[in-house]
Amino acid sequence: DIPFKKLKDGLLSVSSSDECKDAMTFEINENEPTVSITVVGASGDLAKKKIFPALFALYYEDCLPQQFTIYGYARSKMSDADLRHMVSKTLTCRIDKRENCTEKMEQFLKRCFYHSGQYDSPENFAELDKKLKEHEGGRVSNRLFYLSIPPNIFIDSVRCASLSASSGNGWTRVIVEKPFGRDSESSAALTKALKQYLEEDQIFRIDHYLGKELVENLSVLRFSNLIFEPLWSRQYIRNVQLIFSEDFGTEGRGGYFDNYGIIRDIMQNHLLQILALFAMETPVSLDAEDIRNEKVKVLRSMRPLQLENMVVGQYKSHTKGGVTYPAYTDDKTVPDDSLTPTFAAAALFIDNARWDGVPFLMKAGKALHNKRAEIRVQFRHVPGNLYNRNFGTDLDCATNELVIRVQPDEAIYLKINNKVPGLGMRLDRSNLNLHYAARYSKEIPCAYERLLLDAVEGERRLFIRSDELDAAWALFTPLLKELEEKKIIPEYYPYGSRGPVGAHYLAAKYNVRWG
Ligand code: NDP
Ligand code: BG6
C-alpha cells in the first residue's frame, strides 16, 4: 500500500493509515497552514454519495492535514447541524463498520460547516470567505473548492469563488466535475472561461476512473514487470477491449443523461483515459507532466471515430419474472422520441508504430445484464503452435488473454493453455489469477478518496490537463455531430440483456469476440 505521492519535497512519502499519521504528527507545528475544503453543491447527489464519504474516510485514515475545515455550500437553506445530520446519515463508505467509526464521525462532524448562498453571488461567496477566515485564524490558508454542481453554473461559481473567496496567502485549487463540455467547441469555451479566473495548475479536472485502484495499477503492471512491456505492442497483441457495463438504467439522472448520452458520459472520458494510460509510451518520470505528455501523444495519434466503426443502442422495457423494467424513454425527464444512446460500441485505432492496425474496442452500456468494468488484452496465436500441429483440432489452443477487472471484485488474471493433469494429453484453459480480495486483506479506497487527497497535496497526475481534453474531444466531436445530424436510430435492446447484436458484428468485422 504505497501510493505514489508527490511529497518528494519532503512531507509524506507513503499514505497508509499509520504512515500518514506519523508523517502528519511529525509535521505539525504552530505555523501549520490550514486547508479549507468547500463542497459547492453540497446538497446534491454526488456530494452525499461520494464526496463527504470520501472526506470522512480520509479523515478516519488520518490522511487529511491536521488543520482542515470542510464547508458545504449550496442554495438550499441548511444549518451546520443539518449538514452534519446529512453527512452522518448518508454515509455509506468502506469505513462504516470499522472500529471507533462513531467517535471518529463525531470528531469529523465538528470540522464540517455549511453556508447557504447563490452560485452567482460574489457577496455570498464573500460571506463564505469571512467564515473561512475565522477558522483560518490568520495562518497560511489553502483553499480547495469542489464544484459538485451542474455544468451550467461552473463558471459563475468559479468567478465568484476566485473573486471573493480565494486564499490571500496560500494556494487556491478548484476540482471541476465532468462533463467538461459536450463537444470540442463547448469544452474549449469552458476552458477559456475557467482560465479567465484560474491558472491551468489551479484546475483539477476530475475523471474518477483514474482514481480506481486497478487503473492506477496499470502503469505498475506494465512498467515494473519485465514480462509485460516486451509484449505490449502490435507484434503480440491482437486487440484490446475496454468494457463498461451497468445493470441499471439512468434512473434519476435521465435529465442530465439525455443531453449527453453514453458516448460522452463514459467513452470520451473514462474509457478513453484508460486507453491512453494503457497505450502510452514509457514516460520520462512519474511526474504529472511527463505522464500527461505521453497520454496526449497517444490521443493525438488516434484516428477520429467513424460512423462505420460505431454501434449505438438504447434500452427498451423488458418483463422478467413478473417484474417490468422500464425503457429509457419511460423516464419522465426524457423525451418520448429521444434517440440518445444508452449503449455504444466502437473500434478505435492508434496510428503509431506500436499500435498500428490493432483494434481497440470499446463497449459501454446501461441496463445490461451485469455490472463490470474491464480491460481485456487478447494476444496473437502462437506461431506454428506445436500442440495444434501435432494434435490438430483435438487440442484447441486458445490465445492468451490478460484481463484487468477494474470492478467489481478487482482482479488481474491471465488465461493460459495448460495440460490437464493425467496420462493423456489434453489441454484446457486456466487462469493465473491475482484476485485482490484473496491476496490483500485491506479494503480498497474509493476513487474519490485518492483524488481528493491528491488535490489537497497538489498532485496532478490523475487529473486531466486541458490539451488532453482537447485531444479527447477532437476524436469524438465529428462522430457525435454526425450521429445527431443524421438522427441515427439506436438499436433497441431489452433492459437487462447483453446489448445490441450490432456490437458483435462490429467486433466480428475485426475478427474479434467480446470477452
Ligand atoms: P445535482 O443535480 O444533485 O446538483 C448538485 C446541487 O446543485 C443540487 O443539490 C442543487 O443544490 C444545485 N443545483 C442543481 N441544479 C441546479 C440548477 N439548475 N441551477 C442551480 N443549482 C442547481 O448534481 P450531482 O450531485 O448529481 O452532480 C454534480 C456534478 O457531478 C455534475 O456536474 C455531474 O455531472 C457530476 N457527476 C455526478 C455523478 C453522480 O453520480 N451524481 C457522477 C459523476 C459526475 P441547491 O439547490 O441546494 O443549490
Ligand atoms: C459517472 C457517469 O461518471 O460514472 C455515470 O456519469 C456512471 O453514468 C458512473 O454511472 C459510474 O461510476 P462507477 O464508479 O460507479 O463505475
DSSP calls for 142-208: EEEEEE-S-GGGHHHHHHHHHHHS--SSS-EEEEEPSP--SSHHHHHHHHHHHHHHS-GGGEEEE-G
Residue 400: CB partners within 8 Å, gap ≥ 6? 378, 379, 414, 415, 416, 417
Q: 41 C-alpha vs ligand 1 centroid, how far in Å?
A: 6
**pLDDT digit of tens for each residue in the chain (515 aa)?**
344 443 333 333 334 444 454 444 444 455 789 999 999 999 999 999 999 999 999 999 999 999 999 999 999 999 999 999 999 987 666 677 777 888 899 999 999 999 999 999 999 999 999 999 999 988 999 999 999 999 999 999 999 999 999 999 999 999 999 999 999 999 999 999 999 999 999 999 999 999 999 999 999 999 999 999 999 999 999 999 999 999 999 987 878 899 999 999 999 999 999 999 999 999 999 999 999 999 999 999 999 999 999 999 999 999 999 999 999 999 999 999 999 999 999 999 999 999 999 999 999 999 999 999 999 999 999 988 888 766 655 455 689 999 999 999 999 999 999 999 999 988 889 999 999 999 998 889 999 999 999 999 999 999 999 999 999 999 999 999 999 999 999 999 999 999 999 999 999 999 999 98
CA angle 356, 358, 360 (to 5 degrees): 125
Q: 273 C-alpha vs ligand 2 centroid, how far in Å?
A: 14
Residue 124's nearest CA partner among 161, 176, 166 is: 161
Strand, helix or coil for residue 339: coil
State the SS3 of 207-250.
CHHHHCHHHHHHHHHHHCCCCCHHHCCCCCEEEEEEEEECCCCC
Give nearest CA residue, ligand 1 atom 45. Answer: 75
Best probe residue, ligand 1, of 39, 46, 253 (max atoms within 8 Å of C-beta): 46
Strand 427-435 versus strand 323-325 pairing type: unpaired
pTM value is 0.93
Residue 116: CB partners within 8 Å, gap ≥ 6? 73, 74, 75, 76, 77, 78, 124
Q: Is the CB of 96 under 6 A from ligand 1?
A: no
- Eight-state DSSP code of residue 259: T
Q: Is the CB of 273 under 6 A from ligand 1?
A: no
| Proximal ligand: closest to the CA of 251 | 2
Give the cell for residue 141: 490558508
Q: 161 C-alpha vs ligand 1 centroid, how far in Å?
A: 17
- CB count within 10 Å of CB 220 equals 10
Strand 372-379 versus strand 401-407 pairing type: antiparallel
Helix (H) or strand (E) holding 430: strand 427-435
Residue 446's nearest CA partner among 411, 403, 410 is: 410
**For 438, phi and psi rounded to 5 degrees?**
-80, -35
Q: Is the CB of 178 under 6 A from ligand 1?
A: yes
Nearest ligand 2 atom, CA 253: 8
Q: 178 C-alpha vs ligand 2 centroid, how far in Å?
A: 11
Q: Is the CB of 265 under 6 A from ligand 2?
A: yes
Q: How far is CA 188 from the centre of its chain?
A: 21
CA angle 52, 30, 141 (to 5 degrees): 45
Sign for the pseudo-dihedral over CA of 324, 325, 330, 333:
positive
Q: Is the CB of 121 under 6 A from ligand 1?
A: no
Best probe residue, ligand 2, of 216, 270, 274 (max atoms within 8 Å of C-beta): 270
Which residues are marked as active site? 270
Give nearest CA residue, ligand 1 atom 37. Answer: 46
The upper half-sphere exposure of residue 29, i.e. CA atoms within 13 Å in the direction of its Cβ, equals: 4
